[in-house]
Structure 1
């Protein structure tokens, strides 16, 4: 026997044991009318159970342990919240347990009622050293079962992410446009430079850019100046003008630039250098005002993509990856994969968050529909589930898998996972 109490919770909840001619350890006939509701918080393991013992029907709670003596080890005999336990379900009965009023607690022993095959299936899941517990079995699970549980994990993932949106929204006194702008800026950093982009957005709020919406050069000066890239001595005309412009704007708005050391260039393709991303970010600010408001009005994915395409990036960047460093030819536009990354990680998140915040199902449904339209991410985690036989059709599925891996597979919560439960139930 090599399993925790969680396995017995599963056994009891789904009645995955031989429940013919049930008896308590004292020999009284026992019938399970209702196993109760699983409690994941403090207190007895199952609430609101209904059990018939002998000629009496009892309503109350059920506590589950590997051994009866665990009741004493956990000090339940001193906790009044366990006084309403009507049945003690154990794998092995090794001690008589009494309630605080000195009455003996009825016990159901499962040791001879759980099949060896079921225990073996459980051990195959939990003792595996592979990338995730059910890697060898998930390919045999009906895709409808997988999709159903991934729908749950997807919602869990976005609800967790919504907490960060809400915190920022509260900090900005309910300003959705500014909150969206900060998250969008962070997304432009694509993990490696997410933090410096976020610092950039905090240093220069949108309303400052709005004052210069008719002067692209000043917006570019603000972006590169605040990012810390205009401190050198330049020979070329474009950066020299940016530097001069920023000196004026810096004093006007009392701006403190970001430390240039926070920007990462190492192990990056030149196309993804932060200088190119900053040029694209400045161009997006120049192109689009009140971007969040526009996104809330657009349903079609192609129209959403168009907001981030054909950006008016300064021609200087067609021949530069960095100030003082020329290049033969540079693609200054954001690639389709990067645009879809923004739609996935920022746009869908804000549609979902806005829907949750305002209790408007319309926007939540739009977020889900957009996820079903966007292609699935391609990364090492997703690849392993695909190799195991999971059909990953779109971003909805891949986002669900990322949450599945983090919250269930990595922590081996197979008994809380719809896929894991299905595998255990399969013949």
Structure 2
């Protein structure tokens, strides 16, 4: 038994409230259960109760045992002077406020359905991959679908903190925020942080000034990334290096904070040289990117917008030192899907939020047009039951695993709730 379960029982009034009495046989009538407090202080604020006909307004404190009141030192804390009811699983002693007045106590163990307790214990004591692994398939489709949508919005809300920080740092320049987020996600997992440090090493006003020149833009990013520091006998390399040295002096650039790029164990098409060139080609050919992203509301439209190749030199190279067979090296649809999931939709969500608009349904429709992501978490859930094959499902499942299953938050999870109260 954990205290969180008692919070759940009180919050959802999951007990028999007929002929409710305190341990002193006082009749209790619940008018308002109160507001759940997740910070320090009493567990529920602003409850309203009638105890023996007397109306009380104040706070409710919850413990496993009455004696925990003293274990936690509440009798010495004035923050607990306004507690009007002590709710416990087991009553083992009377409790008093700091002024010596006794607090009425409600004992739960005889008024909570045993099935509810057993279902909770089964979940919380599970040693499986997730607590509800054996019963996950039993959850009805409606509950799962709506919960995954809610989890996806939670995931967007979590990402919005980073985006609004970037917006503040860039003095409300949405184009600059898009540039940084896109560049980070062009690096994928292996080079994402390195690409992000690269984006942060360049003021976006510089990008605006040189965006029309592929040689300047590629020279800027390759130079800041430390890819032009070796001596290479290659004309294009020399051109990039000369351009970068000019830009570095003109704009007072330095790349001391840029993280080193990784090539090891990457497929050639994911080499940072290739990804940076694709990014440069995108920005050189598409100006006012943020406006275009806002205006494009279909996945086909986004495929068209981001369907770019590398610059000419990189069609026959993966590195500066070796020539390879000519290939277009176009940005794939699966790669664009990742950009839409991790950059485009979060930005659309935040912009709408900043404008006071709700576009959740539009975003649901957009992400449902994307294929479900392939990773170990999604694969494991899919082995337990049938899952809708779209990216909203996979994003919701990632949120579920990380922020609920891994943290044993079954009581805050719609799936856990449905299993606890199933009988």
TM-score range, shorter chain: over 0.9
Q: Is the 8 A contact 1:321 1:330 kept in 2?
A: no
From 384, 408, 413, the equivalent of 2:404 is 408
Partner of 2:28: 30
RMSD of equivalent CA atoms: 2.2
Residue 375 of structure 1, CA deviation: 2.3
SS in structure 2 opposite 1:44?
A: coil
Which residue is 2:389 aligned to? Answer: 393
Cross-structure match for 2:347: 350
In structure 2, how many angstroms separate the alpha carbons of the residues matched to 1:85 and 1:390? 47
Q: Does 1:185 align with 2:180?
A: no
Partner deviation per Cα, 1:292-318 (whole Å, 9 max, x = no partner): 11111222221112111033x223323
Contact map agreement 1:187 1:345 (CA 8 A) in 2: yes
Contact 1:351 1:366 in 2 (8 A): no
Post-superposition shift, 1:261? 6.9
Report if aligned partners of 1:30, 1:54 keep a CA contact under 8 Å in 2.
Answer: yes
Q: Is the 8 A contact 1:309 1:334 kept in 2?
A: yes
TM-score by length of 2: 0.92
The 1-side partners of 2:199 and 2:220 are apart by 11
Partner of 1:63: 61
Per-residue displacement from partner, 1:373-417 (whole Å, max 9, x unpaired)? 222222111222222225233222322222222221111111112
Q: For the Cα contact (< 8 Å) 1:68–1:90, is it kept in 2?
A: yes
Show the 5 A alignment for 1:13-52.
13-52=11-50
The match for 2:108 is 110
Shift of 1:258: 6.1
Cross-structure match for 1:325: 322
- 8 Å contact from structure 1 (residues 271, 330) kept in 2: no
How far apart in 2 are the matches of 1:286 and 1:175?
A: 19
Shift of 1:193: 0.7
> Is residue 314 from structure 1 mapped to residue 311 from structure 2 by the alignment?
yes
1:291 matched residue in structure 2: 289
Provide the rounded CA distance (Å) in 1 between the counterparts of 2:156 and 2:271.
Answer: 29
After TM superposition, list the pairs within 5 Å mapping 1:350-389 onto structure 2.
350-362=347-359, 364-389=360-385
- SS for the counterpart of 1:66 is strand
Seen in structure 2, the aligned counterparts of structure 1 residues 345 and 124 have a Cα distance that, compared at 3 Å, is same
Residue 223 in structure 1 maps to residue 221 in structure 2 = yes
Distance 1:62 1:241 in 2: 72
Separation in structure 2 between the aligned mates of residue 259 and residue 32 of structure 1, nearest angstrom:
59
Kept in 2: contact 1:46–1:61 (CA 8 A): yes
Structure 1 residue 257 displacement after superposition: 4.1
1:297-349 C-alpha deviation (Å, 9 max, x unpaired): 222221112111033x2233233211112333545111111111001111111
**Among candidates 407, 419, 422, match of residue 423 of structure 1:** 419
Change (3 A) 1:270 1:108: same
Kept in 1: contact 2:198–2:224 (CA 8 A):
yes
Q: Which residue of 1 aligns with 2:7?
A: 9
Instruction: Report how far residue 256 of structure 1 moved.
Output: 2.4
Gaps of 5+ in 1: none
TM-score, with length taken from structure 1 = 0.92
Which residue of 119, 122, 131 corresponds with 1:121? 119
Q: Is 269-278 or 389-398 further displaced after alignment?
A: 389-398
Distance 1:85 1:248 in 2: 70
Change (3 A) 1:38 1:219: closer
Are the equivalent residues in 2 in contact too, given 1:376–1:395 (CA < 8 A)? yes
Matches within 5 A, 1:197-236: 197-236=195-234
SS in 2 for 1:401: helix
Query: Contact 1:271/1:331 (CA < 8 Å) preserved in 2?
Result: no
Hey, what does 1:135 align to over in structure 2? Answer: 133
Displacement of 1:365 in angstroms is: 4.7
- Cα pair distance change 1:90/1:259, threshold 3 Å: closer
Consecutive unaligned residues of structure 2, counting only runs of 5 or more, are none
Between the aligned partners of 1:110 and 1:86, the Cα distance in structure 2 is: 16
Q: Matched residue of 1:328: which SS?
A: coil
Answer yes or no: is the 8 Å Cα contact 2:198–2:259 preserved in 1: no
CA distance in 1, matches of 2:53, 2:317: 87
Aligned residues of 1:382 and 1:402 also touching (Cα < 8 A): yes
**Cα distance in 1, alignment partners of residues 176 and 168 from structure 2:** 11
